[in-house]
Structure 1
Amino acid sequence: MAEQLNSLEELGTVAAVAAPEAPVHVKKVDALGRSYATGKRKDAIARVWVKPGTGKIIVNGKEFNAYFARPVLQMVLQQPIVAANRAGQFDIIATVAGGGLSGQAGAVRHGISKALTYYEPALRAVLKKGGFLTRDSRVVERKKYGKAKARRSFQFSKR
């Protein structure tokens, strides 16, 4: 019995010593000094590069306020930059494909957030708290057989 207690005590100390440490996030930058990330939302996928600069945001070769004409979408794009207090410090180049404008704006926002954390790991806490690093997983529900749409039934006819 005493031998079992000793072995259990040893196991307890080993388990306490082998507790996992908090992950250390390192700066991920390519040879040109840029940080790259992929953002996704609905059916849209955005490839985003972040580098130090004057605050220009280019989406598919156009200024972001020309590509996203609605002020709401422009605001969505700038949310992670404003939350991190980095307005005017980074140039952002993004290519986005798939989905509509709203999904594309969300994808670019997700990509900007991830790229900022890769360039400056200290910003991770702020962006995570704002919910910018979480991929919004809501997608269009598929159509089911025997239904007019995903959930809508055909119109009922009494006769």
Structure 2
Amino acid sequence: MNTVFQKDKIGIGKRKRAVARVFLVPGTGTITINKVSGEKYLQYNTNYLNAIKAPLEKLNLTNQFDIVAIVRGGGLTGQTDSIKLGVARLLCKMEHENRLVLKPFGFLSRDARIKERKKYGLRKARKASQYSKR
């Protein structure tokens, strides 16, 4: 796995606290996340695996590219969605016509929902201590 990747052939995806750098390598459709097979890294969860492959399936490129991703931060759901966004962005960077296919399915939309910060005087972002009338 000593492949050198070019900087212009990278797709970056973000979701919650997860940041993914995605590379597409011509191959057979395998997924590698942080130098571990995708099935093992995502705990054999088919929903996560299908979500990552979804942009490729819409373009009928499933068995033409291997997905290599480096992910930091967040949990498995955030990491999966960040990889999916990175794959979609990279496909658009490779060929501009792919954008017209992927955009209606929402693959190019970044989910902006992040954890709300804790406020002073409260226990969490919105949770307050119980109110006592007397």
Q: For residue 20 of structure 2, give the secondary structure of its aligned residue in structure 1.
A: strand
What is aligned with 2:27? 53
Write the distance in 2 (CA, Å) between the matches of 1:118 and 1:53: 19
Would you identify which runs of 4 or more consecutive aligned residues in structure 1 move more than 6 Å? none
Q: Which amino acid aligns with 2:121?
A: G
Write the distance in 1 (CA, Å) between the matches of 2:61 and 2:106: 17
Q: For residue 109 of structure 1, give the secondary structure of its aligned residue in structure 2.
A: helix
What is aligned with 2:54? 79
Q: Residue 133 of structure 1 is aligned with which of 101, 104, 108?
A: 108
Write the distance in 1 (CA, Å) between the matches of 2:55 and 2:108: 9
Per-residue Cα deviation, 1:102-142 (whole angstroms, up to 9, x for no partner): 11111101101111111222211111111111111110111
**Equivalent residues in 2 for 1:140-159 (5 A)?**
140-159=115-134
Q: 1:73 and 1:31, CA in 2 relative to 1: closer, same or farther beyond 3 A?
A: closer
**Equivalent residues in 2 for 1:58-69 (5 A)?**
58-69=32-43
Q: For residue 88 of structure 1, give the secondary structure of its aligned residue in structure 2.
A: coil
Q: RMSD of the TM alignment (CA)?
A: 1.9
Task: State the structure with bigger RCO (CA 8 A, min sep 6), 1 or 2.
Answer: 2
Q: Contact 2:5–2:23 at 8 Å: present in 1 too?
A: no
Which runs of 5 or more structure 2 residues have no equivalent in the other structure? none
Write the distance in 1 (CA, Å) between the matches of 2:113 and 2:61: 29
Deviation, 1:51, is 2.5
Question: Is 1:117 equivalent to 2:64 in the alignment?
Answer: no
Q: What's the TM-score once normalised by structure 2's chain length?
A: 0.88
Q: Which amino acid aligns with 1:66?
A: K
Q: Which amino acid aligns with 2:30?
A: K
Deviation, 1:64, is 0.9
What is aligned with 1:5? none
Q: Contact 1:50–1:119 at 8 Å: present in 2 too?
A: no
Question: Is 1:107 equivalent to 2:82 in the alignment?
Answer: yes
What is aligned with 1:14? none
Which runs of 5 or more structure 1 residues have no equivalent in the other structure? 1-29
Q: Which amino acid aligns with 2:46?
A: P
Question: Is 1:91 equivalent to 2:74 in the alignment?
Answer: no
What is aligned with 1:3? none
Identity of matched residues, %? 43
